[in-house]
Structures are given as C-alpha cells and as structure tokens.
Amino acid sequence: MPESSKSLDKAKQPGLSRRDGPEVAASPPSLDEHPIRRLQRAVGNRAVQRLLCPEPGCFESSRRGPENYYLTGGHGGAGVEGAGTIQQEIRPRISEDPEDPSQAYVPSITMTGRVLVSRSYTGLLPGKQGYDRIGRRWFITPEAAARIEQHEQMHVDEARRIHDATILPMEQRIESSVGHFRSGLEDYIAWDETLGRFREQDLARNGWGGSFDEEERADPDTPQPNPRNVTLDGVEYQMYLKMPWEEAP
C-alpha cells in the first residue's frame, strides 16, 4: 500500500494500546476541548442536531409565506438567507500518526466534517399590495407573482448546484479519509479553500445584481412594472406589475 494512503489498523487507533500489549481504552478528551461542546455552548443543541446528516450534502430549501411584495412593506418574492452564506459548519477532526506526523487521518465523521447550507424564499401574494418607499401602491397579477416565485426558486436551485460542485465533494473527501492515513490530509480536504470557493461563487451568481439576475433581466418572459394609475374594485394603484403578454387594464 502506498505511503500516501494506508489503512488505519487497530494498534494505531486513538484510545487503544499497541498490539504487543493489552487493549486499554484511553481517557476521553475533556468536553471543554471538544469542538462540538464549544459549538453547543455557542449555538445550542438544536442547531447542532441539524448537522447530524446521515450522508454528505446537507442542503435545506423551503418556501415561506406567502406575503405581500418585499418592495411594498412585506417579504414576499425575496430570498431569506443571503447569497454566499453558510448556516452551520463543523470543521473535521484530524488526528496525526504518532510515529509519522506527516501522515494523518479522520477518526470519525460523527458530528464533525459537516456543512449545512439553507436557502429559502418567501412566497408572493398576488393582487393588491402595500405602498413602496415613494408612496406608490402596487398591484401584481397572479401570473407575475408566479413568475417572481419561479425566479426565487431558481436562485435556490443555483445555490444547490454550486453547493454540490464545491462542498459536497469536500465532504466526500472527508468520508474517504476516515480510518485511512494520508499525507497532506488538510490540503487534500481543503476545508477553508472549499468554503471560500462556495461563498465566492454563490455570491457572484446569486448576489444582488449577480450573473443570474443579469440573465433574468435579459429574459423577455419576466414581469414588467407599469407605472400608471389603475383603479380596480374601487382601489387606485400607481404601479401595475404584469407579464409582458398580459393586457393592462
């Protein structure tokens, strides 16, 4: 077996003696030294429980609401978590070979080496809205509201795609290193580099004015605001948001 990756035998497992003597369990590390204990104190047990993913690739998505449009005092038609954000992370625990510090391994993936990314958006109520910052009351057609929600769902899908191209392979590298010595393990896992790459790519793609929004603005099948006075059911609106193929009243 090559030196760069060798299986971890029982004699080299932490907490066990060498083969030439009786197997004696070592004293467990102090809870105060354990990264999970520190995380529990920082964010609480419930947040830690969310990281107990049975498999790599913890990506949560959801739809909230619906509410009125975010430009008129509500939260509808907008994302919840910011682009480039990571909701929880636990750095992997790495142990060195006491006989050869250049070799290291991941002793366990239980509550370690996991990243949680969540992306959600608030649904949009069609029809009458509130007032924007310059005092205009909005009306949004059901077709335009559905297209705005589709836009937000596409942001979620784009974030998942970037996650699966960056964070997921890293978590798989961590899993492949459980119980196997490897030289240059930290460089192989590339924890900080991978999370940084996810944040950078997600922000560039899904951030305000990012490449995805630019592509959507160039799509002719997007809602078009019409700054005009429209009276519907006795209510006057100064902004009417509709699809391009819809007729304005």
Q: What is the pLDDT of residues 60-111, one digit of tens each?
A: 999 999 999 999 999 999 999 999 999 989 899 899 888 888 899 888 766 6
Q: What is the pLDDT of residue 97?
A: 86
Q: Does some domain include residue 186?
A: yes
Residue 25 scores a pLDDT above 50: no
pTM over 0.85: no
Residue 10 within any structural domain of the chain: yes
Residue 192's pLDDT is what?
97
Q: How many domains does the chain have?
A: 1
Confirm whether 248 is domain-assigned: no
Q: 174: number of CA atoms within 13 Å, CB side?
A: 27
Considering only CA atoms, give the Rg of the chain.
Answer: 26
Structural domain of 164: 5-242
What is the distance between the alpha carbons of residues 164 and 145, in angstroms, rounded to a whole number? 29
The first and second tokens of residue 119, run together, are 């992306």
Question: Do the domain assignments include residue 86?
Answer: yes
Residue 249: inside a domain, yes or no?
no
